[in-house]
Structure 1
Amino acid sequence: MPALAHSPAIDAARREFAGGRDYLAACTVGLPPRATREAVLADLDASASGRPDLAAYGAAVERSRGLFGSLVGIGAERVAIGSQTSVAAATVASALPDGADVLVPEGEFSSVVLPFVHAGRGIRVRTAPLRDLAESVRPGTALVAFSLVQSATGEVADAAAVVAAAAACDALTLCDATQAVGWLPVEASVFDAVVCHAYKWLCAPRGVSFLTVSERLAAQMPPIHAGWYAGDDPWTSCYGGEVRLAPDARRFDVSPAWQAFVGAAPALELFAGLEPSELHAHATGLASAFRRGLGLAEPERASAIVTWDDPEGCELARLTAAGITASGRSGRARVAFHIFNDEDDVDLALAALGH
């Protein structure tokens, strides 16, 4: 395919990755940039030598918190840290009244659904096709929970329509941005909660997730997972029940996986230093070229993830046989194009599929 125009910043960022050729699976797990690898190895070496640096761990957590906030357009005081999106979703579920009506898309990722299905207290979960989600919000709906980008299909939700429909019915909104932040611009302030795990498109080690909360939600959500790290000063909050919790979103923190945050901070810094619109153009430009090569229609909203019917897994097997790392979900083959990919990856994948 003809070369796409890349900005100097994107080209420089691409050089921060040692791998990426033939890797079309950022939607499954991202690749660590060089600085992440170096930070994790340095920490392991220091720890193995008997010199773990607890102050540096705390600094990496706070640096990561602030960087994620900058990526989604809010202050660090609105960002809680954790390790799993399902834990964050369960915290949001605790804020709902008994018998609450929760709306989710059909085929939504389980970590967004199960915390509400199993919340008890008469909470009811109903589903609607993603394209009909906004129209399915009704008076009495307490929460709309959805992924901004669907994991199984790559479809991008009409977030503006969902938010408007929810506001008209005084419903809360929970957006899972795990498959979005890192290539799709996200404004967390338009949602009551955003959950995001950083090990996919943000290329951080697994074990780093974030939860952003609106003032409205924070006022009614109990810190059900509070531990020592939810204290206003974690190091004086290690014992007993008379702990002063943090006054901001840190009260919803879950004790961090230290080494994971050591690696996350440089990865988040890399993405925070890039223009979101340039990341979006790079990823979706490659995905669009791949769709054209396969003869697939363009989606209503551009996506970096391309999926197509593959019920027997034959297409995925052809990609794998050609040395290309891809994935399959719900009877569909799935590829993703990220910052470390280029036009050669498109051509190689198309050739593997006979196009």
Structure 2
Amino acid sequence: MSSNYKWLLAPFGAGELYIDKKVADELEPPHVGWYSVGESVESRPSKAMGPGPYRLAPGGRRFEPGNLSYFSVYGLNRCLSFLQKLGLSEIRRVTFRLRDRLLEGLQEIGAKILNPLDEKHLSAMFFCAFDKIDGAELAGRLEKLRIIVPARNFGESSGLRVSPYFYNSDEDVDRFIESVRGLLR
């Protein structure tokens, strides 16, 4: 299952669900609608959701209860085209360079990075905490500076979830680090 509004930059309302064909017919969908029943509206409209028992459609269609969000699907398609033009390797290169810059700068000012730093487990998103300030308080102060970063708890620690992406700049990263530095004084 996936949502598209974060890393794919798409509008809300569309997502993907992959289910292996070997088990799809064994699973019960949480919602049933006119697309998910065995008799489709296209083939026999009067039978699609009539009274009486119904039979779920085979395969993945049983998980599609109603009309597609065409706006969301169109938006997703445009976003995928945009990202494809940029290229996954370029997006990754820029994103991880920004992440490394953030990690270095934040550790220099006393951040504790709360998730593994080995390349095998490290993504662009990471959690950091500071001894001098609670994550929610720091996030609130940063918001007043028009820097939006969510506070999160990570075990016993309260910190920030930081997730740079290719559309961020070196200036964004430097401003973030310097703002945190100023708030820690």
TM-score by length of 1: 0.40
Counterparts in 2 of 1:223 and 1:333: CA distance versus 1, 3 Å:
closer
Query: Is the contact made by 1:318 and 1:353 (CA closer than 8 Å) also made in structure 2?
Result: no
Alignment correspondent of 1:286: 98
Alignment correspondent of 2:14: 208
Are positions 1:251 and 2:78 aligned together? Answer: no
Give 1:312 deviation, angstroms: 5.2
Query: Is the contact made by 2:4 and 2:12 (CA closer than 8 Å) also made in structure 1?
Result: yes
Q: Secondary structure at the match of 1:352?
A: helix
Q: Secondary structure at the match of 1:278?
A: helix
Alignment correspondent of 2:117: 299
Determine which of 151, 160, 165 is the counterpart of 1:338: 165
CA distance in 2, matches of 1:324, 1:333: 12
Q: How many residues matched? A: 161
Give 1:243 deviation, angstroms: 6.8
Query: Is the contact made by 1:318 and 1:352 (CA closer than 8 Å) also made in structure 2?
Result: no
Give 1:244 deviation, angstroms: 7.1
CA distance in 2, matches of 1:287, 1:234: 49
Give 1:273 deviation, angstroms: 4.6
CA RMSD across the alignment: 2.9
Give 1:231 deviation, angstroms: 5.0
Q: 1:143-158 residue pairs with structure 2 within 5 A? A: none
CA distance in 2, matches of 1:274, 1:244: 44
Counterparts in 2 of 1:235 and 1:244: CA distance versus 1, 3 Å:
farther
Give 1:325's aligned amino acid: I
Q: 1:122-141 residue pairs with structure 2 within 5 A? A: none
Q: Secondary structure at the match of 1:291?
A: helix
Q: Secondary structure at the match of 1:289?
A: helix
Q: 1:229-244 residue pairs with structure 2 within 5 A? A: 229-230=35-36, 233-236=40-43, 237=45, 238-240=48-50
Query: Is the contact made by 1:198 and 1:204 (CA closer than 8 Å) also made in structure 2?
Result: yes
Give 1:201's aligned amino acid: W
Deviations 1:261-309 (A, max 9, x none): 3333312332345543332232222112101001155622222113212
TM-score by length of 2: 0.70
Alignment correspondent of 1:218: 24
Q: Secondary structure at the match of 1:230?
A: coil
Provide the identity percentage.
Answer: 27
Counterparts in 2 of 1:279 and 1:314: CA distance versus 1, 3 Å:
same
Counterparts in 2 of 1:345 and 1:234: CA distance versus 1, 3 Å:
farther
Query: Is the contact made by 1:230 and 1:252 (CA closer than 8 Å) also made in structure 2?
Result: yes
CA distance in 1, matches of 2:89, 2:117: 18
Unaligned runs of 5+ in 2: none
Give 1:254's aligned amino acid: P
Counterparts in 2 of 1:312 and 1:342: CA distance versus 1, 3 Å:
closer
Are positions 1:198 and 2:8 aligned together? Answer: no
Counterparts in 2 of 1:226 and 1:215: CA distance versus 1, 3 Å:
same
Give 1:210's aligned amino acid: E
Query: Is the contact made by 2:95 and 2:165 (CA closer than 8 Å) also made in structure 1?
Result: yes
Query: Is the contact made by 1:228 and 1:235 (CA closer than 8 Å) also made in structure 2?
Result: no
Are positions 1:324 and 2:180 aligned together? Answer: no
Larger Rg: 2
Give 1:285's aligned amino acid: R
Give 1:239's aligned amino acid: M
Unaligned runs of 5+ in 1: 1-194
Deviations 1:136-192 (A, max 9, x none): xxxxxxxxxxxxxxxxxxxxxxxxxxxxxxxxxxxxxxxxxxxxxxxxxxxxxxxxx
Q: Relative CO higher for 1 or 2, CA cutoff 8 Å, sep ≥ 6?
A: 1
Counterparts in 2 of 1:216 and 1:272: CA distance versus 1, 3 Å:
farther
Query: Is the contact made by 2:135 and 2:151 (CA closer than 8 Å) also made in structure 1?
Result: no
